[in-house]
Structure 1
Amino acid sequence: MSFIRKNYLLIAAGLLIVIALTSCSKTDKTYYDYNNTAGTFKGTTYEYLTAQTGLYDSLLFVANRLTGLSDALKSGNITLFAANNRSFELALFNINQARKDSIPAMAQVSLATIDSALLDTFVCRYIIPGLQHTDSLKGFTDGKLYASYRYDYNMQLQYVATNASGYLGGGPKAITFSDPRNSIFTRNWVRVNTITVDIKTSNGMLHLLPAGHDFGFGNDFIKRVNKR
């Protein structure tokens, strides 16, 4: 009986080791192969935004309001850093709160009433000519400046790869998207990290920004809109 019991214990221990090794192997491979890209979308950049019901209505509204912008999203060879509805809501809340608190108080504004030329200059900062994807940024350790669509305003793109489960660079890919604010000092820059990258559409490249991003990169947009 003692001999049989020992055999059972040895077999059980062996099975536990096999299960543990298999489990670790699967987990490591999952992290190593981690990819937060959404692959290829069969349609234009404009059609992608339209297909994400309830997420990009504000961006589409602005694109349709501004001359030539919807055409760029439909046929232009561009890279778009897409700000969702919440980003626009945050910007409008901050703008209108400042207008309410000013003396004398200023009338509230919306995406339909903000000066179109001003709105256009800030929206175009989210559009970079050409197809800029994570692989094209890997060679630039400190990132690279790119002139934005229509106004040649410099924005900075920097590739970011996190580590996962012991694998260097095995975590999610991301791009740090920065408004340098015409300053050479990074302490003056305003930055945001993407949540999804490298969505290839029929005419461009898409990178998605988080809901917490304040459209316009904060105070500069607020001050420009509220300038008397």
Structure 2
Amino acid sequence: MKKKLYNKYSLLLLIAVMGIYLSGCKKNDSPYYDYTNTVQTFKGTAVDYLKSKPNTFDSLLLVLDRFPFLKDSLTNQKVTLFAPVNENFAASVKYLNQTRKAEGKAPIYLSTADPLELAFMLSKYIIRGNLTSAAYASTVDGISVTTVASNYPMHVKALQANASGFVGGGATTLEYSDMYGSTIRLNWVTTNTNAINIKTNNATINILTPLHNFGFDEFTYRLDQ
């Protein structure tokens, strides 16, 4: 119940942000490494970078096209994106429609999903400030961050793998968590990154593992109405 009330409040904040923009415009998955980051610096915006990777971010771009205020943040604002890949969306849509089929309901897709609920879930992946992994590595427990659209709190923690002969001397990955308003980690839903610190003109992009379910386990709950 607390989680539902907390997210209801955050959704109301997001609705207010969407209204302002439109009036002015007239549980834990494991790190699975199957993405190679060959570009550490990209000349262009965050959206340009997403477009440069066909078959990886098509679903994310489709959803961004539905929400100009979020797309604008990835084009003109200083932000950090924890980028969900196609597999993240596919898994969530598949489970949603399996549930709806069992209930005798018609399927729902990214192009037809409730815009307020979908925008709220998408906004969780875009946080304020252009931050690299160094910002999170300064503390063992990680840091709290806020989303661009509704100041929704998320949490980032840097993890350094062990290299041969060196404890903590390997590659850095990030844990990205939805805290659901709780300080108790057992209540959080956490995902991991496959690639980090991809710098664009306006943003830092961290790419999520394909094992993550888009929406932090809320996709079916929010859209199966």
Deviation at 1:38, TM superposition (A): 4.0
Matched, 1:111 2:91: no
1:74 corresponds to: 75
1:224 corresponds to: 222
Deviation at 1:212, TM superposition (A): 1.4
In structure 2, the residue corresponding to 1:68 is in which secondary structure?
Answer: helix
In structure 1, the residue corresponding to 2:63 is in which secondary structure?
Answer: helix
1:59 corresponds to: 60
- Cα deviations across residues 40-60 of structure 1 (Å, max 9, x unaligned)? 111110010000011101100
| Equivalent residues of 1:79, 1:132 under 8 A apart | yes
Matching of residues 135-214 of structure 1 within 5 Å: 135-214=134-213
In structure 2, the residue corresponding to 1:195 is in which secondary structure?
Answer: strand
Distance 1:72 1:185 in 2: 31
| Equivalent residues of 1:155, 1:180 under 8 A apart | yes
Distance 1:182 1:107 in 2: 33
| Equivalent residues of 1:37, 1:198 under 8 A apart | no
- Of residues 105-114 and 180-189 in structure 1, the stretch that sits farther from structure 2 once superposed is 180-189
Deviation at 1:36, TM superposition (A): 6.4
- Cα deviations across residues 80-101 of structure 1 (Å, max 9, x unaligned)? 0000111100010011111111
List alignment gaps of at least 5 residues for structure 1: 1-34
| Equivalent residues of 2:70, 2:149 under 8 A apart | no
Distance 2:199 2:156 in 1: 17
TM-score, normalisation: structure 2: 0.81
| Equivalent residues of 1:50, 1:60 under 8 A apart | yes
Distance 2:38 2:160 in 1: 13
Aligned amino acid, residue 221 of structure 1: F
Identity of paired residues, percent?
35
Q: Highest relative contact order (Cα 8 Å, sep 6+), 1 or 2?
A: 2
Distance 1:188 1:112, change over 3 A: same
| Equivalent residues of 1:36, 1:172 under 8 A apart | no
Deviation at 1:169, TM superposition (A): 2.2
List alignment gaps of at least 5 residues for structure 2: 1-35
| Equivalent residues of 1:124, 1:148 under 8 A apart | yes
Moved over 6 A (4+): none
Aligned amino acid, residue 77 of structure 1: K
Deviation at 1:133, TM superposition (A): 1.2
TM-score, normalisation: structure 1: 0.80
When Rg is computed on C-alpha atoms for both structures, the one with the higher figure is 1
| Equivalent residues of 2:42, 2:200 under 8 A apart | yes
Distance 1:36 1:142, change over 3 A: farther
2:24 corresponds to: none
Aligned amino acid, residue 130 of structure 1: G
Deviation at 1:221, TM superposition (A): 2.3
Distance 1:146 1:37 in 2: 27
- Cα deviations across residues 149-183 of structure 1 (Å, max 9, x unaligned)? 11111110001101110123221111100111222
In structure 1, the residue corresponding to 2:124 is in which secondary structure?
Answer: helix
Distance 1:37 1:192, change over 3 A: farther
2:89 corresponds to: 88
